[in-house]
Structure 1
């Protein structure tokens, strides 16, 4: 206990400075002292102030004090930070005869976690009086003893220490005996009674003396014993040892029966008075008698029990040698046995204040646990080396105080790589051979939302047939998150920043299933490109995304359509005419694409007809030569137009041809001349204007497309187009049919010349699939054939 002698401010300040210096030198250890038997509530010290803690932060920081393996003799008032006595402390019960008696306390505070070490020294007070082992000591003294003869008396014992246990003896006044307590350095534990004057048994056969033992405490305490001295007439030479004190070193844990020392005493008498018997003095503690025994005849001191350095490291034995005369005489000696330590105690390790689980974002230096080690051995046998295994784990041990360590984080953690660490704290002493021990602890790592939901691919391509049922499940996206619990709970939604898709596509927020909300029409939408985002439920939440491309596949759901003049306007043909002469052309269109739009033409009844139709061109020509005799009549041809889809869809067209003879044709021409000129020049002029217009429009369109492609190449936009017209492609009709890229919009230009044999179709279409700038590849679906409407020659 820190005691202030005077209420002096300067002296108190000096003591505080000295206490702070002692704190710095002692690596964080506080030292107090308090007398034993102090009452409950006795002030010990201002522990909060001495530790540099504010009283107001004791409760918030969970201030607590731990006293290992002992009763809670002390308490701390968290309201004022004062350490006080909580229960009665008996130093003799706590530390027995040990000179140093202290209680070690651990003070722990959290936020941040810190540990302090406090040592409270228990000061001895003089609360035990000297006690003799017997109430009466009976001595036999021969009258033949000369003055100066010495008698060993059973001394008193005092449970106190230091000055409180320093016993002085006093003998009641008499004429024959005095006490010899020896020198201050070699004072025996037992007093020696010295004969001062010769005895006369006939005059005084019995002497009763009072021996008083007084300790050195304040106040002094004392005990007494009655000495009964019988004066005998007999054996007058006691046994004598060759030395008064024997010092022996003995290893602990020696086997029973080991000889410690062979004692030898001599007696100058003869016969039975010379025979000696060896024994322990009466005041030797019973525990010593269980560990050692002495052969009464030979004087051999033998180990009879367990010699443990950690229990008792020094034995002080009083040996008595007594002869066998009628009036036995005795001599005594002191045997001091120093026990040498052997490395027979393995180190002990304990883990406290384990702060788990450890968040994976904890910074290096975070304290995970407090570890204390101990070894009951001494010297090198009690010095401990502490290590952590395996050493490659992101933890290390830091020494905080003598035999105290902190388990701290040495590297950043990642729960997704290692979710739990199994550590072993190994301790080994420096004895020979060394002893070791270990303690296992498990450090789980708690999750932090540090991983973004991730899809297996950056993009997915889906092919979906048109005319799908509403609400059809078309695909399922799935994102994985290596986190756990709510940090790995993923939900999905559509990103509609570029193009609202709520009327076409929806995604289930939990399962990631994609649904087509309405039937898709290839002729309207050929590509849907959008992003699906995945978000976890962490705080804050993290997002990932994936690009979805839905290509709509064409189905044969459109019937070919034929365009042209009315059926009642027949085409005039002058006969005779040679075989293979082209008289007209069927113009048909199919809104589908690919094979579904590839058209073929057939005559409904071609068995005996003088006509034929081009399978893919739709041109109607003569199958054989026609003579003038076959003129003056109108022939109707039924043409069947079919596509190549499955199932095949078809339509019919009627083509009328009026056959006229050459003379009739001349009259017709004369009538046309009188009405304003020839019909053929008028038709040729109209066709020429039409071809010029078509070429102008096509050139302008190609120029626009080239400019658009150049602008697209220069742009750095990251988002691809959802759908729309791409670069125009120029395709000419041929004998094998017309095919091109198709899209939502197509541009058709037809050119007609005056001569049937030189007529051609010029068509411009836009590609049905846009060029994907991100992938660098052009996706081209099946080609679609297109044919112009029906025109007569």
Structure 2
């Protein structure tokens, strides 16, 4: 039985109501088209027969038409391929947000579908072969950084262990550098003998912890050299720095310095990114080869990435160059550079003048890409004195509702301005105008101009002769 067929057999679906108008489902990534997700109509308390008359519709926040609802039976099903890694990367929680809207009366429901991970990605090395040069004079216990594998899966499916092909000189181990940062290194077990062997070929395997486990490999080619016996050394193995997003190009992040105990040209050091550093990091940062200054090369956006892990190499200029390594962990700090975004999800107009307080007129979605206080948004409606108010329905959603009795004969239309403002310093805001016409109901009786009339009529008037004119008016 294939992995995907087995997946369908063990598929567990959950659905529960959270507060008012909110559902949660879960489905594994890579589920086939038509895979059952949940009985959405039943879970929302809707009858299947009323879905079409009430104009049942569903919108997905963001790109992708991953789910659809069968209006004949009220079942939510998978519509297109869902790749969790493509959708959410390494985020622990991967959720697709859906909005369900029905009319007559207006109802709004928030549906979350959690995409669970399956072990569908092998551990991958960025290169197929890594070359290392090692002095035969290096003592047992010396460490040499090697390429680490990445696994796009999360949780246990993305946990990688390493295994080195049998040999008498090297072992592989992970060394914890700082908090959750680790480095993969080769450790020398016994002295090398260049005369016995000038080169060693070892196969490094990365195995994930999924079931069944998946594997990736890289070939390590180790050349033994016997000159220049002191590699450059940094005073720290890991440097942690903070950098504001949107820092100007050329901003100095940190100045690194490595020393070499050799003499002459063997102690002259140049700095560079390790060949293990990803191309996108090299596009955002630069390092001066002569003085070790790490600077901003291109705009850095907190909303794109909150941290960078950069391996730096210091290499001496000996005939057989030796290298020392360190890591720079750059934490990106958020600044308030995104204004709130506002979207009108539903508008029910005209509003009948006999609508009771609490009647929902419009549903508005508010979002802000910033984090923390910079991403917390307050929403208000103006100008003051309007018979409407905003109420928070659930996260990032506001309902515009009737707050006071309406009278079309007194005010037939209202011009509203909805404003959203974040809590950053300085605060950023956005606003949107909204026109709400008031619908007429027959709430006024016709009225004569005066309560009574006195009319004098001449005698002998012929039939059809004009005697008097009365008029009545109706403000409806």
TM-score > 0.5, shorter chain as reference: yes
Match of 1:450 among 443, 447, 453: 443
Are residue 299 (structure 1) and residue 300 (structure 2) matched?
A: no
Indicate how the Cα distance of structure 1 residues 290 and 6 shifts in structure 2: closer, same or farther if over 3 A, else same. closer
Indicate how the Cα distance of structure 1 residues 185 and 54 shifts in structure 2: closer, same or farther if over 3 A, else same. farther
Look up the match of 2:117.
124
Match of 1:151 among 141, 144, 152: 144
Look up the match of 1:195.
188
- Contact 1:41–1:85 (CA under 8 A) maintained in structure 2: yes
Match of 2:330 among 328, 337, 341: 337
Following superposition of structure 1 onto structure 2, how do residues 235-274 of structure 1 map, counting pairs within 5 Å? 235-274=228-267
Look up the match of 1:137.
130
Distance, in Å, in 2 between the alignment partners of 1:462 and 1:381 is 76
Query: Secondary structure in 1 aligned to 2:85?
Result: helix
* 5+ residue gaps, structure 2: 1-6
Look up the match of 1:709.
none
- Contact 1:385–1:428 (CA under 8 A) maintained in structure 2: yes
Question: Which of 63-72 and 181-190 deviates more?
Answer: 181-190
Distance, in Å, in 1 between the alignment partners of 2:450 and 2:181 is 94
How high is the TM-score relative to the length of structure 1? 0.56
Please report how far the alpha carbon of residue 63 of structure 1 lies from its aligned counterpart in structure 2 after TM superposition. 2.7
- Contact 1:181–1:188 (CA under 8 A) maintained in structure 2: no
- Contact 1:178–1:195 (CA under 8 A) maintained in structure 2: yes
Please report how far the alpha carbon of residue 453 of structure 1 lies from its aligned counterpart in structure 2 after TM superposition. 3.2
Question: Which of 353-362 and 275-284 deviates more?
Answer: 275-284
- Listed one character per residue, the Cα deviations across residues 321-377 of structure 1 (whole Å, up to 9, x for unaligned) are 111111111111111111111111111111121011111122222111111111111
- Contact 1:152–1:192 (CA under 8 A) maintained in structure 2: yes
Look up the match of 1:438.
431
Following superposition of structure 1 onto structure 2, how do residues 35-434 of structure 1 map, counting pairs within 5 Å? 35-182=28-175, 190-434=183-427
Give the structure with the larger helix fraction: 1
Indicate how the Cα distance of structure 1 residues 319 and 179 shifts in structure 2: closer, same or farther if over 3 A, else same. same
Indicate how the Cα distance of structure 1 residues 458 and 70 shifts in structure 2: closer, same or farther if over 3 A, else same. same
- Contact 2:39–2:75 (CA under 8 A) maintained in structure 1: yes
More relative contact order in 1 or in 2 (CA 8 Å, sep 6+)? 2
Look up the match of 1:480.
473
- Contact 1:423–1:442 (CA under 8 A) maintained in structure 2: yes
Indicate how the Cα distance of structure 1 residues 184 and 50 shifts in structure 2: closer, same or farther if over 3 A, else same. farther
Please report how far the alpha carbon of residue 220 of structure 1 lies from its aligned counterpart in structure 2 after TM superposition. 1.3
Please report how far the alpha carbon of residue 459 of structure 1 lies from its aligned counterpart in structure 2 after TM superposition. 4.9
Question: Which of 51-60 and 85-94 deviates more?
Answer: 51-60
- Contact 1:350–1:439 (CA under 8 A) maintained in structure 2: no
Query: Secondary structure in 1 aligned to 2:247?
Result: coil
Give the structure with the larger strand fraction: 2
Distance, in Å, in 2 between the alignment partners of 1:312 and 1:379 is 15
Distance, in Å, in 2 between the alignment partners of 1:245 and 1:48 is 54
Q: What is the aligned-residue RMSD (CA, Å)?
A: 2.7
Distance, in Å, in 2 between the alignment partners of 1:368 and 1:238 is 72
Distance, in Å, in 2 between the alignment partners of 1:292 and 1:223 is 29
Please report how far the alpha carbon of residue 173 of structure 1 lies from its aligned counterpart in structure 2 after TM superposition. 1.3
Distance, in Å, in 2 between the alignment partners of 1:136 and 1:438 is 56
Distance, in Å, in 1 between the alignment partners of 2:206 and 2:186 is 14
When Rg is computed on C-alpha atoms for both structures, the one with the higher figure is: 1
Query: Secondary structure in 1 aligned to 2:195?
Result: coil
Following superposition of structure 1 onto structure 2, how do residues 568-717 of structure 1 map, counting pairs within 5 Å? none
Distance, in Å, in 2 between the alignment partners of 1:57 and 1:464 is 64
Indicate how the Cα distance of structure 1 residues 170 and 460 shifts in structure 2: closer, same or farther if over 3 A, else same. same
* 5+ residue gaps, structure 1: 484-793
How high is the TM-score relative to the length of structure 2? 0.91
